[in-house]
Structures are given as structure tokens and as C-alpha cells.
Amino acid sequence: MSQPGKDRDAKVQPAAGWRSIHESPDHSKNIRSENISYLKNAERHDLKFIFITGGVISSLGKGVAGASLGALLKGMGYAVSMQKLDPYLNTDAGTMNPLQHGEVYVTDDGAETDMDLGHYERLLDTHLPVNSCFTSGFIYSRVIETERQGSAGEYRGKTIQIVPHVTDMIKHVILRQTISGAKVIMVEIGGTVGDIEGLPFCEAVHELRNELPPRNTLSIHLTYLPYLRISGETKTKPTQHSVKELRAVGLRPDIIICRSDEDVTEDTRYKIAKTCGVAFDSIFVSKNLDYVYMLPEHFKEQRLVEKVCELLSLEAKPFDIGPMIRFTSNLAALKKEVRIAVVGKYVDQESPKDRQEGVKKKPITYYESYKSVIEALSHAGVRHGRRVDICPLEADDFKFLDIAEELSSCDGILVPGGFGDRGYEQMLAVIRYAREGGKPFFGICFGLQLAIVEYARNVLGLPHASSEEFRNPLSDPPGEDFIYFMSSWYNYRTGTIDYRKRDSSIGGTMRLGLQPCFLNPGTRAYSAYRGAYDEGLRRGAENRSYVYDEVPLTESINVYRTAFSQDIDPKTLADLERDAREKGLLTVYERHRHRYEINPAFHAVLTLGPGGADRFVISGEAPKFTVKGQNTPPHIVEVMELEKHPWFLGCQFHPEFLSRPLRPHPLFLDFVKAASDFKDRRKSKGQHGS
């Protein structure tokens, strides 16, 4: 089935992060002069900068440590912004393999970023803007683009060098945070000190520390202290060499945070202080904890935030992190559990040969590949008094495993996002098992699309039903593309229609970021959001979530109110929301990341149901509107659920990105409750499997 509408040629837009600096580049502007203006603004408002680096080994948890400190500063009443600068040469994280780099995290504004932004948002309970994450690839691309302007451009034919041109661009993206309204600007430098690709970032920070007032910048260095069990010693030499590397690039740490598997004695701290030239009371410890949400309390006990305030000449105000402490206490005290299978494409790195030979390796990467999903399940579990036991399953492994045997002990099944055809047939079989067995099922983005294909094949009796993403038109038999490539959609941020071609580059060209969704009354999705909203009202205004009085955008808070062009009828989102309320609909906003969508040509057949069989119900959809003089983009369905199944729901957006420890996402809350109820029913019947 061909897709509705007509493809149009379109200039592919660059990645979202690119658009954040110069939506319409003004070549008469000068980066260096803008930096001087930002520096004056920072000094005028007495803004504080905290730079976080890491040494010895990678993956130390700089993002979690920085976000935990930021949460304490925010608790004192200071406005905090956080930024991640990554040395890799990708333009952004959008095209990177989750098995290598962890999940791709998406902001309200549509940026595809490093997973550390998820840590920032969850611990700070905030919505970060698009320019909170930059890479070397972006920086170099922007410098090269400017150089290509020749004598007419900013560089005017100069010889382009790392210093000053690349470092000026790095300082530019940092200093733009001075207009964010934050009092404290935290910047994490990715990678490990000494890495060759990270040198320009360290040099830029070195220059900023010289250009800003001495009491307005702070350098925090996170290092690893290895423990030799054979001698019973914690070794400080790697930390000493790491600080030596840091000094070699012009940076002297004001605070050292030591990551350790063991307790760090005062003697060890004293030795580090002496050998690294840092005050004894500026050496802190980041122990391995059971849950990352315990780290703010761990730092609070050491009075880290008070030392930061002292060094930055900030008032150390009283603060309370009681709600987070209660959350972690409840999390640690959970006795009951519910078992959720997460069946995905990025669970482990077994080779095809291992799978053929039946060799099973311990999955070590799934937690980062689906970080936000795992965290969202945990948030919902705490609210329901359940420890969520995650059962990670690689889709490809079901070529060699029995589905019923592997999933019988699970109380719910979640199929998360992904791209490509690898493992999709196995996922279809897993979804069929959940549908026919009455087991709670939650499909996110790719998971929803597969649920539609499975239903079309096994309920509607269309064996060739598929997704356009999987079908090779030159070799596969023609089929019914229930999932099709989106060639156009309305961009709420620009007030225009975005067009895409199938051969477009893949970086930053999907339907990305926060989009409105109208929920239909009488559906499970509507009840989930309404229930969470009402519960939030009972708990207090700070817990109201996901049904917003105002769109929770960051940099462009009013963009949804003003972005509609004069060719749109109705002209504003307020008109659409008012119309939705009159119809009894509920308006919510969720983050998206997809280029395929449920084919509108099949909406009707999916919702009819053959001969009394279970049918899909459209429970959430994008606003409908008309565009004068243009082809209106096809209707987008956001949420679908099976009418008779105990709990079978899929959504096109990614709700995991908006879940917070103290405000679990409504859909995850409802899914975990359904899985818990399923377990209790099974237990009451004396069943161990399904």
C-alpha cells in the first residue's frame, strides 16, 4: 500500500543542536565579540561556573555527581543550568549505537543528546534546553562552515587554528548559558583528562577561568581510587597522575571527588591533598551506592555543597532534600516485587556465532541502552510499593529460546524503541504471546509499531502486513505497510510543515521533541493521565505533572503559543486546546523520536476488529488542522490500546524521558499497576507461570 500524500523535495535540516546557535546565521556577527559580551554579562550578574572533569578511567559517573551537586544547589534556591561537552566527533548522539554509547536522550526542543542529560533532568527535576549538549563534531563543523564563507565571513580568510578559533567556539557555547537565567552554570567535560580529543575543551575552560573573576569559577575533578585486595590498600597514584595531566592543560582542581569501591580513610584523603595541592577539606568521596538517587544525600552528609558555596562566594542557604531521601528510603525498603521483561534490540553484544552455538553471555549494557525506561519503571514501582525486577532479553535470542518458557515468570512485557529489522520477527512473536495470553504489554515507539503489525498479521489475517522500514521493495512481495515513512508533519516550533525524503540523511531529521497529544475520554490512556494528575493535586502543586497548564518548554516557553503560521486554521494552539476541552479531550505533551508512523490508510480497519475479535482503540492523537493552499500532513495517531485486553497499550512517543523519581510517568504507573495486579491474580490462583 503506498503512503498517502505526495513526497516533496526538501532541504534536510541539520541536527537540532545545530539550529540552537544560529537559526538564521548572521555572518556579520563575530564569535569573539559575542563572547566578550557574554563575559561582561556574567560578571555583571555575578554568575558562577563549575567545570567538572574526570580522570583515571571513563564512566566514573561525572554526570550523576554533577547533577547531584546541582540538586543540592537548587535546593538552596539557586537557579542551576547543566551542560555536557563531549569530545567525540559525531555531530550529536542521534546516530550512535546505544550498545556503545547508551541511550539517545531527547529534550523538549528536539535535541538528540548524551544520556547524561537524563541524569541531569531526573536529579534536578527540570527540562533542559537544546543547547545543553555539544560535541567536538558540532564545534568543528561550525568552525569549518564559518571558514568556508571566506573573506565575506567572520574569519575573513584567516588561518584557522585550534587556538583561538575552535576554543572560541567552545567558549561561545558555554557562555551562551549566561542568558539562561541560571545563577550557577555547571559544565561537564566528557571523556578522561589526557584524551587527545578533549584537549581543546580543557584549553577553553583554562581560558575562561582566566577571563572570569577568580571567585566565580570552580574546577571539580572526579577520579578513581583502585583498591588492591591482595595488599589491602587504596592506591592514590592514578589520581596523582590524573591531576598532573589536568595541570598540564592549565587547570588546577579546587575540589577532588574520589570514586571508590571501598571506604576512603582520612590518611588517604590527606595523602591526596598533599600530593595534588588541594586543601584537605576539599577532598570528597563518591562511594558506590545501591541507587544513584542516594548520591545527593551522600554529598549532603559530607557538606560538599557548603564547600562549593565557600569557594564561589555564595551564601550557603538552608535546604531540604527530604522528599528525595524518603524516595530512596522507600526504594531500599521494598519487599514485594513485580517482574517485567524488557525485550529489545540493544540488550547485549553477543556475536552471531555465539548465538548459533547457544553460548550465553551476561548482558552488561542493557541498563544504559534503555536507561530512561529502566528508571521510569523503578519510579513507578516505588509509588506502588513494588521493586521492579527487570528481565532483559535480547530479541535475537528468541531464535534459540522458547518464548513461553522465558516469559512465563514475567508479570508484564515491555518492548522499547529501536530502529531496523534485526530481531523484529522475534519481537512480533513476543507481542503475540502477550496479546493472546492476557499479559500486560507496553509498546514504546518501535514497540507500538510492531504491535500493529502483529495484530494485522495474526488477527486481521494479512500475512504480508509489515512496516515500510523492513520491506525491500526490490525483493519482498508487495504487502500492506501498516507502518509507513513520514514524509511530512507539522513543526510546532517553526510554524511550518517539515518535509522528508526516504534518502534524507538520518541525523536530526526525525519528528523530534515535545509535541501535543489529545487523549480521548473513556480510554485507558486518558484514565492513566487523569488519575496521575488528580493524585498530584492531592499530593501538592509540585507533583502536578504531564497535564500542563503551560507547555513545559525551556528556552522558548511561548513557542507553542506563537509558532502557528497565518495559513493554519485554527491559528493558535490555544484554539486547539479550547476545542479539545469542549470535546472532553485531555491535552498532554510528550517527547518524540521517530520517522515511521501508523499508516492513516489503516486506522479504520484497526479499530473495527474482525467478527467480534478484540479491536484497537485510538486513545491519543495529534491535533488535527488544515493548511490553506497546501497539502495538510496526514493524521498522526499517538496512542493505541486493545479494547478487551486487560492491559495492552502502545505509544508513538517516549514517555520514559519525562518520568521523575518524585513524579512517575502516568503510563508507567498504570503499566506497573497492571503487572502487579496480574501477579497478584496469578498468585491467588496458585500459578507460577502463565
CA distances in angstroms from 153 to 24, 34, 245, 247, 356, listed in the order given: 14, 15, 37, 36, 57
- Say what angle helices 62-75 and 304-312 make with each other, to 10 degrees: 80
Helix (H, G, I), strand (E, B) or coil at 363: coil
Distances 580 to 176, 302, 513, 639 between C-alpha atoms, Å: 38, 51, 21, 16
* Cα 162 from Cα 168, distance rounded (Å): 9
Helix, strand, coil share (%) of the chain residues, nearest 5: 40, 20, 40
Instruction: Identify the helix (H) or strand (E) that includes residue 298.
Output: helix 295-302
Catalytic residue among 165, 379, 594, 654: 654
CA dist 499 → 92, 419, 573, 678 (Å): 21, 20, 21, 44
Question: Under 8 Å CB-to-CB from 397, ≥6 apart: which residues?
Answer: 350, 355, 360, 426
Q: Which of 133, 445, 517, 651 is catalytic?
A: 445
Q: Is 597 designated active site?
A: no
- What are the beta bridge partners of residue 255? 220
CA gap 67, 117 in Å, rounded: 9
Kindly state the cell numbers that stand for 427: 519481537
Calpha distance 144→141 (Å, rounded): 5
Measured CA angle at 538 (ends 621, 293), to 5 deg? 80
Largest CA distance in the chain: 80
CA angle 678–684–687, rounded 5-degree value: 75
Residue 266 annotated in active site: no
In order, the DSSP letters of 108-150 are TT--EE-THHHHHHHHHT----GGGEEEHHHHHHHHHHHHTTG
How many angstroms separate the CA atoms of 280 and 264, rounded?
A: 13
Q: Pick the catalytic residue from 203, 375, 394, 656.
A: 656
CA angle 453, 456, 460 (to 5 degrees): 170
Q: Which three cell numbers stand for residue 525?
A: 490512556
Q: Are 581 and 570 in contact (CB under 8 A)?
A: no
Is 651 assigned a catalytic role? no
Active site residues: 445, 654, 656
